[in-house]
Structure 1
Amino acid sequence: MRGRIAVAALVLLLSGCASAPAPDPSSWAVRPAPVTAGPEVRTATGDAARRAAEVAAAWPGSPAQQAWDHGYFPVEDATEWAPEGAFRSGADKAAYLSGHLDLATALPVSVSGLAEVRFPDGSRLTLPQRSAQDVLGRLTHRGDPCATDCDTRLTITAVRPGTTTVATSRGRATIPVWEFTLSGYDGPFRYPAVASQAPAPGPTVDLVDGVSTVLDSVSADGLVLTAGVPHGSCDTVRPGEVHETDRAVVLIGRVDHASSRHCDAALRFTPVEFRLSRPLGARTVLGLADGRPQAQPNLRG
């Protein structure tokens, strides 16, 4: 989701519209009819095509590609998991977000300092373990956004090792977590005991004649990708284009920006069909502006 919000913010900047949170294409309440690319393959042209070629050429052998294919690369938010129904009150939520936590138990200590990620194909990856002390330190040293109910504090009554599953580039993996039990809560708050190997997002590139898209679905034969093209309320979405290599696919959205001053600032996503010259297969779909990989729907779990 964070990657989609970044794409949306970039597109609004380029189109001159005010920023607004980007919706998840999988949760669109009403889907407009897709803009189709027609039966022919539309090969990329112009400045956006040159950018797409750069993105595709940089992918093989890059740290991101190595982590995507062989490492632990989450494709969902994997920073923390709150119990269902949290929080009991606004005061509790403010205390949690402000790091107003008191430790009333001993923290477990790892012997080896290593932890294991297990993938659905049976393969395993050993990574440095993130300590429970590190988790506690990050929780208690958050920024303090507390404006009301600032006197409330929460008590940590137990900390135990556990596991959870996370959608990754290699399927839904089982990862180790630390489970923090807070007084008054039946379910634990969980935090990953390993760090993602995905490289930090780099700067995005300003695009002159194209926009980044958000992959939504892949046809059964792998020849048609449907992706959301973000645009302003009065803009017109046109059929997009594709840049393909043996290792990667980059989609280029095309939008005609309206000059009317009577358009609202709402951000919209229109699904567009992009036809490939051959099935997608094991190739990776990369973002045009940021060059980062986009997960196929079956990986998001």
Structure 2
Amino acid sequence: MRARAVRRVGLAVIVVGTVGCGGGKVAGDGGGGAGALGERARRVAEAWDGSKAAAVWRAGYHPVGEETRLPRGGLRDEDQQAYERRNLTARGALPDGGPEDGEVAWAAGGSGARPVVSAREAYEALAGPRAAGTPRLVVEEVAAGRMRIDTTRGPASVPAWVFTLDGYASPLVRAAVEPSPTPRSPIGPAHDLPGRRLDRLLDIADDGRSVTVVAVHGVCDDGPRVRARETRGSVVLTTSVVDREGEQTCTAQGKLERVVVKLRAPLGDRVLLDAVSGGPVPYRGPVPGW
């Protein structure tokens, strides 16, 4: 299948280590570089399509949406600061045990059981060491409930812990089930390609016809290019960058940039893969500060 180029949107700068500097070359995008990336994408797709790993991935629970839902309308300024600093405090005792069951029910049909986390584990994932003299977000009560979350298989209803907050009419809700482990890739990572690994998956469009990913590139290039190789069983993404003309002095920084990748067909249950790593593009939530 032919690869498609895509557009870039948004920008953030984060220190990630030493990066290459300009010289007018197309890194991983022209000549032998493009051919090597294309061949790698073909090999990754060939390894995954019809594999046991792909079947295990499709059957699993892999969130691609936030596992924590804030109260309707969001948090007030001081409370938002407290939340970002993980400065929460609970007034009462947290419930013992976990939700009654760990059933994940997909809107498109099908369900599965996953291990659940206790109310204390969910609370400790949100709360850090108490910082003196800073705003606190007060949890008044915790109860078991359910929430909707986006997954690689579409929307699903999952067990959740419902946190009643002081001063808010609607609660903060956090998923109470553990994601499925990532299956071992049938192909190992590539160590000699001009392309870079994708940092993370940010979003899958509601119609499945595009995905938003975060790509890494240097401060001395003209940005990342992400292409998709589509098969019936997978979508393999390759990332390259274009160096700027002329010699430049570069700092040890890199840029993380959102890239919207448009697909020829809806993603559906196809596995979204990173050509360099050889495995599924990871979802780790939004980049802090975006």
Identity %: 26
Number of equivalences: 250
**CA RMSD of superposed structures (Å):** 4.8
Alignment of 1:177-256 (within 5 A): 177-199=160-182, 208-211=193-196, 231=217, 235=221, 247-256=233-242
**One-letter code of the match for 1:291?**
G
The separation in 2 between residues aligned to 1:92 and 1:179, in whole angstroms, is 18
Aligned to 1:130: 117
2:78 aligns with one of 83, 86, 90: 90
Would you say the 8 A contact 2:142–2:163 is kept in 1?
A: yes
Per-residue CA deviations over 1:91-150 (Å, capped at 9, x if unaligned) read 6733773444133255264585x321111123111222222132234344x256x4x733
| Secondary structure in 2 matching 1:128 | coil
Q: Which moves more between the two structures, 95-104 or 170-179? A: 95-104
Per-residue CA deviations over 1:207-245 (Å, capped at 9, x if unaligned) read 632345679999x9x8x9998876557645798766566
Aligned to 2:92: 104
- 1:177 positional shift: 0.7
1:233–1:149 CA distance, 2 compared to 1 (3 A): same
1:270–1:155 CA distance, 2 compared to 1 (3 A): closer
1:118 aligns with one of 105, 115, 131: 105
**Greater RCO structure (CA 8 Å; 6+ sep):** 2
**One-letter code of the match for 1:77?**
E
**One-letter code of the match for 2:62?**
F
- 1:175 positional shift: 1.1
| Secondary structure in 2 matching 1:289 | coil
| Secondary structure in 1 matching 2:102 | strand
- 1:163 positional shift: 1.6
Would you say the 8 A contact 2:211–2:260 is kept in 1?
A: no
- 1:155 positional shift: 3.5
The separation in 2 between residues aligned to 1:173 and 1:15, in whole angstroms, is 42
Per-residue CA deviations over 1:192-212 (Å, capped at 9, x if unaligned) read 111111439999755632345
- 1:70 positional shift: 0.8
TM-score relative to the length of structure 2: 0.62
- 1:84 positional shift: 3.2
**One-letter code of the match for 1:290?**
S
Is 1:174 matched up with 2:187? Answer: no
Q: Which moves more between the two structures, 199-208 or 278-287? A: 199-208
More helix by share: 1
Aligned to 2:63: 74
The separation in 2 between residues aligned to 1:268 and 1:210, in whole angstroms, is 15
5+ long unaligned stretches in structure 1:
18-36, 38-43, 296-301
| Secondary structure in 2 matching 1:293 | coil
TM-score relative to the length of structure 1: 0.60
1:273–1:90 CA distance, 2 compared to 1 (3 A): closer
The separation in 2 between residues aligned to 1:183 and 1:161, in whole angstroms, is 18
5+ long unaligned stretches in structure 2:
1-9, 23-28, 283-290
More strand by share: 2
2:280 aligns with one of 279, 283, 293: 293
1:263–1:138 CA distance, 2 compared to 1 (3 A): closer
